[in-house]
Amino acid sequence: MGESLEDRSLGCVTILFGASGGKYPDANCVLVEGSNERILLDTTPGLVARGREAVGKVDRILLTHCHEDHFSANFLFPEAMVQCHSADLLGLHSLDGLLEIFGPSEPRRPELARMLVERFHFEPRLDARPFEHGDVFDLGDGVTIEVIHTPGHTRGHCAFRIRPLDLLFLGDVDLSSFGPFYADAWSSLLDFEATLKMLRTLDAACYLSGHHIGLLQGREAFLARLDRFEARIAERENRLLGYLAEPHTLEDIVAHRFVYRPQDQLPGIDQAERRSMSQHLDRLLNNGQLAEVEPGLYRSV
């Protein structure tokens, strides 16, 4: 990474921003320090670029979820205990488990496996342990981290509330203009929507996204970003309904692009479109807003 990486200290918390504001393949992560323990929330490519010496001793790593841009510096801290939500734990235990979370097509599976190991430094951690919603980690001197289960992006995706700063680290509820990503095998549109509804009930002094937006001060700023983020779901669905004024197949929908731009041609995009829009199709069929006029051919009602 050619650009400088910003660190921001807020008392017991140091935010370790990724390159380009945490744009993928980098991300933002957090070091939390109490009198008894130093904990990293996610380990990102930016940490690899900084090097272990820039962070120092780490006792524990808590992952928002088991994706490559959030665990890629685990290997720098072999002595640290690594934990994630129980629903994502198999992704830390083995490469096959991690691939199950992504669910790549068979032709892409070897390529993805190689990328996870070579580019994102995946190493199985058979010693990794689970945490659950509501668990609280006491770091000493009143510094705590509370686990809040926020599924949708993955089954085990979590946010962390850090006190006494009262910072809510959102992980890949990243508030970006791209919108929610629910295209992996272990993603769920319905779970993501429930998570967004729940997050509206949480008040915090500040909010930190895993990518792009970074640090927000106060609930009003957070809700404004959350509104825009969530609106992408309805926008995709409304565009789909308009497109299906004339009958089309799922493969037509994939080629048309509703999540990505038509010019985007990255590996895995067709599969991501297919998984994302299949969930919208299912919902619209169940709601009676679409009809399957012939097997595999859909039209708005």
pLDDT of amino acid 1: 44
Length of the chain (residues):
301
Are 128 and 166 found together in one domain?
A: yes
> How far apart are the C-alpha atoms of 77 and 59, rounded to whole Å?
9
The pTM score is 0.96
222 within a domain of the structure (yes/no): yes
Q: Residue 61 is inside which H or E element, if any?
A: strand 60-62
- Boundary of a domain, candidates 229, 255, 270: 229
Within-domain flag for 59: yes
**Are 165 and 108 found together in one domain?**
yes
The series of mean pLDDT values per 10 residues for the chain, 301 residues long, is 81 97 96 98 98 96 98 98 98 98 95 97 98 98 98 98 98 97 98 98 97 96 98 98 98 96 87 97 97 97 96
Q: What residue type is 201 in one-letter code?
A: T
Q: How many Cβ atoms sit within 10 Å of the Cβ of residue 49?
A: 17
Pick the closest to residue 214 from 2, 46, 35, 73 (CA basis). Answer: 46
User: In this structure, are strands 248-249 and 290-294 parallel, antiparallel, or unpaired?
Assistant: unpaired
**What pLDDT, on a 0 to 100 scale, did the predictor assign at position 266?**
81
d(CA 41, CA 159): 10
Distance CA 154, CA 282 (A): 19
Asked if the structure places residue 1 within a domain, the reply is no
Residue 206 sits in the same domain as residue 291: no
**Shared domain check, 288 and 189:** no
Other beta carbons within 10 angstroms of residue 45's beta carbon come to: 25
Domain count for the chain = 2
Q: Which domain does 30 fall in, by range?
A: 7-229
Inter-residue contact 269 to 277 (CB < 8 Å): no
Give the C-alpha separation, 9 to 17, whole Å. 11
